[in-house]
Amino acid sequence: MNIFEALGYVGGIFSIATYSMKTMIPLRIMAIISNVVFIVYGAIDEVYPVLILHVVLLPLNAYRLRQMMKLVAHVRQAAHGDLRMDWLKPFMSRRSYAAGDELFHLGDPANEMFFTLSGRFRLKELNLELGAGEVVGELGLLAPENRRGQTLECIADGEVLTITYNEVRQLYFQNPEFGFYFLRLTSARLFENIARLEGEVATLRGRVPG
């Protein structure tokens, strides 16, 4: 076996290792190593289809690795700081709404969550207004039968970012820190709702004659 054949076998080993990874960051690292080995192999042995393929794949894998590492870093930071979703924007899709539009209705099947960019929105049953920078719709992932517990309507033209629950689940399995962050986010929202209800009950009791 000469050095060229050895490079081919080494590249193959790293390719197999790539597909055996259970999480995304190690997978991308193995893929990058495999790309580099095959680029050297293709250049030295003048195997141009292999060379071109891995020259194209190398920057793609490097970009995805950087994106995932930034996500993990932001999740780790968020887990110890403010509960915000700005760092999820690269994984979300932009959508526009006009005043009077409903984003979702009470009892509807729930399959996505939202991050408000601009405009104003209102949770109808709670009569709670939301401005820019708010997360809404995340509790549908945990709700029985994944049904909406509120109606969200647009009251001033605006834009939102959306991410499906399937994508949220993928991020959860790829990054355990994201699961912890999402648990904190949903728990905070539940405690906010409980506090709001307790306040309303106390107000009603104050109005009832003793």
DSSP symbols for 97-120: E-TT-EEE-TT-B--EEEEE-SSE
The pLDDT of residue 157 is 96
The pLDDT of residue 175 is 66
Rounded Cα distance between 81 and 123, Å, is 26
Rounded Cα distance between 141 and 20, Å, is 29
The pLDDT of residue 44 is 85
Rounded Cα distance between 139 and 106, Å, is 13
The pLDDT of residue 94 is 93
The pLDDT of residue 98 is 96
How many CB atoms sit inside 10 A of residue 144's CB? 6
The pLDDT of residue 24 is 82
171-188: string of b/e by CB count within 10 Å (b at 16+)?
Answer: bbebbebbbebbeebbee
Ramachandran region of residue 133, left (φ > 0), alpha (ψ -120 to 50) or beta?
left
Q: Are the beta carbons of 92 and 171 closer than 8 angstroms?
A: no
Measured over the CA atoms of residue 67, residue 69, residue 75 and residue 81, the dihedral's sign is negative
pLDDT beneath 50, residues of the chain: 83
